[in-house]
Amino acid sequence: MDISGSGFWDLLVAAAADDADLCGKAAHARACAFAVRIDDAQHLLEFHRGVLARLEGKDLTGIRFSISGPRSEWEKVITGAIPYARAINVFHGRLRVEGDALSVLWMTPALWQLWRVSARLVGGIGHG
Amino acid sequence: MAEIVGRYVEVRGRQAYYEACGEGPAIVAIHTAGREGRQWHGVMQALAGRYHMFVPDLPGHGKSWPLAGNACLQDAHEIAQWLREFAAVVVGDSFIITGCSLGGNLSLLLAAVAPEVRAAVALQGCDHTPTFTETALDLMTHPQVSLMHANMDFSMSLVGSEATPEGRAFSEWGVLSIIPVAQQGDLRAYGRCDIRPLMDKVKVPVLLAHGSEDWLASREMVEATRGRLVNAPLVRMVPLPGLGHFPHLEAPGRVADMMLTFFDEAGL
């Protein structure tokens, strides 16, 4: 599965919409747009009232924070091989979170749920 | 089941709460960052037949009053000094020190600087843990941050797969009941902890135990610490498969058995 490509993120957005736990946790968070950068690829996402959506285009207006890093580290997060916290840890991880730190914290519970869903999605694809 | 008794004692003019259990040589046990001494109940009861454990709540944690100005300690050396003062009042001039995570680091620090320490059992203990950014630490007391929510997944990712249901539940409760200023102070002490230059001053037996599923205090960090304990007469490193960052809470019976084996070997 090419986690850098749009196809994966479309599938993840759809899986997120079907996940009650994720929607429940994200519903309590403020609307927030953020960028996921995997090597040179970028995907813009937004949580709004519990629903995750992809943003069209490359306009970074309104993007509150970004999570960036090499594909190898992203694969570990997306497959659930390592916890998200480890991947973004200043000492242990290779992902970097930049931008509005408060927004990052507000979105933390929803993001953990998102990576749980991504692990299930990738596992399902892998075994399918 | 051995009785655990809670008491107050005055340290630095403030009421400090501690719990004690058992009879025998003294052990002082330190809780993890932002938590309190109940983490040690299982180990206390398991060791009660041979050891007398004393477990304080650090200032501002659990039932201990904060320091003047509602302050908590924020530096490993300051916390270590407070623990020495607590032990001087309650325990006496000779004791084994143990602790987990920040408490593990503090156990190593006390083993280096406190002649009253007979031995150290450091769970997830390391001499250098630069694992939190200053931004993350500052945000812990921001008026728009709820650590109960923001820290839950992080904290629970540190719990091992073989943790008892009770241990897992109490670890979760530790996040739900968090005191942000206490957590912030402890993690400042933890994130800024660099006691590497002191490790060659440790001249007592040391047990380093590592929950193998802990990604925060990693095996590599513990092994590096072990390599710097060049003057300790006995150093043992014990992996704890299936356990994470809170072994004493996750599997108190296993931790107690491990400690007894080490104490026997060290003649304690």
Contact A67/A97 with Cβ under 8 angstroms? yes
Enumerate the domain spans of chain A.
6-127
In this prediction, the answer to ipTM > 0.85 reads: yes
pLDDT of residue A16: 95
Contact state of B131 with A89 under an 8 Å Cβ cutoff: yes
Choose among A80, A85, A88, A12: nearest CA to A51: A12
Chain B segment 82-141 residues within 8 A of A by beta carbon are 129-133, 135-136, 139
pLDDT of residue B105: 98
Q: Which residues of chain B have pLDDT under 50?
A: none
SS3 B53: strand
pLDDT of residue B248: 98
pLDDT of residue A124: 60
Cα(A15)–Cα(A22) distance, integer angstroms: 10
Nearest residue in chain B measured CA to CA from A113: B153
| A92 has a chain B CB within 8 A of its CB | yes
Please name the fold of domain A6-127: Nonspecific Lipid-transfer Protein; Chain A (3.30.1050)
Can you list the domains of chain B with their CATH numbers? 5-266 (3.40.50.1820)
| B157 has a chain A CB within 8 A of its CB | yes
CB-based burial of residue A7 (10 Å sphere; 0-12 exposed, 13-18 middle, 19+ buried)?
exposed
Tell me the DSSP string of A19-81: -HHHHHHHHTSPPEEEEEEETTEEEEEEEETTEEEEPPSS--TTEEEEEEE-HHHHHHHHHTS
Cα(B136)–Cα(B59) distance, integer angstroms: 22
pLDDT of residue A126: 42
Nearest chain B CA: its distance from A86 CA (Å): 7
Cα(A40)–Cα(B83) distance, integer angstroms: 51
Cα(B239)–Cα(B242) distance, integer angstroms: 9
pLDDT in tens, chain A (128 residues): 799 999 999 999 999 999 999 998 888 888 999 999 999 999 999 999 889 999 987 788 899 999 999 999 999 999 999 999 999 999 999 999 999 999 999 999 999 999 999 999 998 654 33
* Token pair for B26: 């003294």
| A30 has a chain B CB within 8 A of its CB | no
H/E segment holding residue A13: helix A6-17
